[in-house]
Structure 1
Amino acid sequence: MPLHHVRTVFRRFIRHNGFDAAILAQLAIIEATPGRVVCQVPVQQENTNRLGTAHGGWLATIVDVAGSLSIASYGRDKTGVSVDINTSYLSAAKLGDMLTVDAVCLKLGRNLAFTQVDLKVGEKQVATGRHTKHLGGQPPHPAKPEPSS
């Protein structure tokens, strides 16, 4: 069930025909469980910098979108707005490489969600990022029960 829902939310991102559609149309969602999403995306010419490696802005966008999808994996239609995002670049990904993206929602609260996203080519870590999102006080989805009082 989470896989279908996450793919539906992502299709909405792409249907908007904005930034996400322009640079992440090739993103494939492979796996989704509550709190975790795994994706793959090839490094294509339009995603590279002048050195022929994956552009840092593109990788940061993947951290943004994949972090959002890890929140959606709890059954949420709305994934909030970014409050803070950071990306550390550890190694280069080249044209033609297939990136595997592992996004985990570390904490889902009433107002904030905290995610971590790791990007790899095979076993080589390319980048890692953290993404904090404001959820607007939406009540947690039933897949994530509220703490008992």
Structure 2
Amino acid sequence: MSVPHLRTVFQRFLDYKGYDAAILSNLKVVSSTPGSVKCTVPVEKENTNRLGSAHGGWLATIVDVAGSLSVASHGMDFTGVSADINISYISSAKLGETLEIDATCLKMGRRLAFTQVELKAKDKLVAIGRHTKYINEKVLQAAEKSKM
């Protein structure tokens, strides 16, 4: 799906003015193909822990949002709700670095979508996450309406 479509979907996350808008307003969708999306986001002071590294909770939120965008890259405007999420922290990202995010929808089933997200800084793997999305009837109906 096109980058403009994913930027529109992400803008809806921000327009809600909730948690995503509070901590991910600087995330940029860079490129997309069906089932895949690449994004970037700078590590800023409010995204760090007391050691000056990217906060683990912030990185987990990136896995959540980027995984959702990889589902949206299949042409969906709505991406369901989280059923499971996990993240492995490999190394740190420091204040001022830019995270490069590569999210892939590994499988899109009738009710579940399985995603994987890699986060890198300066070509160094920072974290790998997996995110499972439950796609219920309301999401499927909204997706069908948006295609009309």
The alignment yields a C-alpha RMSD, in angstroms, of 1.3
Question: Shift of the alpha carbon at 1:107?
Answer: 0.3
Task: Output the amino acid matched with 1:60.
Answer: A
Paired residue for 1:65? Answer: 65
Question: Shift of the alpha carbon at 1:122?
Answer: 2.2
Give the match's secondary structure for 1:117.
Answer: strand
> Contact (CA 8 Å) 1:43, 1:54: kept in 2 or not?
yes
Question: Shift of the alpha carbon at 1:104?
Answer: 0.1
Structure 1: unaligned runs, 5 residues or longer:
143-149
Give the distance between the partners of 1:70 and 1:107, measured in 2 at CA.
10
Q: How many residues align?
A: 141
Question: Shift of the alpha carbon at 1:2?
Answer: 1.9
Paired residue for 2:30? Answer: 30
The 5-angstrom pairing of residues 119-134 of structure 1 reads 119-134=119-134
Answering whether residue 106 of structure 2 is matched by residue 106 of structure 1, we say yes
Question: Shift of the alpha carbon at 1:4?
Answer: 1.1
> Contact (CA 8 Å) 2:97, 2:122: kept in 1 or not?
no
- Determine which structure has the larger helix proportion and give its number: 2
Paired residue for 1:95? Answer: 95
Give the distance between the partners of 1:64 and 1:39, measured in 2 at CA.
13
Question: Shift of the alpha carbon at 1:123?
Answer: 1.4
* TM, length-normalised to structure 1: 0.91
Paired residue for 1:12? Answer: 12
Paired residue for 1:78? Answer: 78
> Contact (CA 8 Å) 1:2, 1:74: kept in 2 or not?
no
Task: Output the amino acid matched with 1:71.
Answer: V
Paired residue for 1:147? Answer: none
Give the distance between the partners of 2:83 and 2:122, measured in 1 at CA.
31
Give the match's secondary structure for 1:99.
Answer: strand
Task: Output the amino acid matched with 1:55.
Answer: H
> Contact (CA 8 Å) 2:118, 2:129: kept in 1 or not?
yes
Give the distance between the partners of 1:38 and 1:48, measured in 2 at CA.
22
- Cα offsets for 1:21-65 (capped at 9, x unmatched): 000000010001100000000000000000000000000000000
Question: Shift of the alpha carbon at 1:6?
Answer: 0.5
Structure 1 segments, 4+ long, off by >4 Å, are none
* TM, length-normalised to structure 2: 0.92
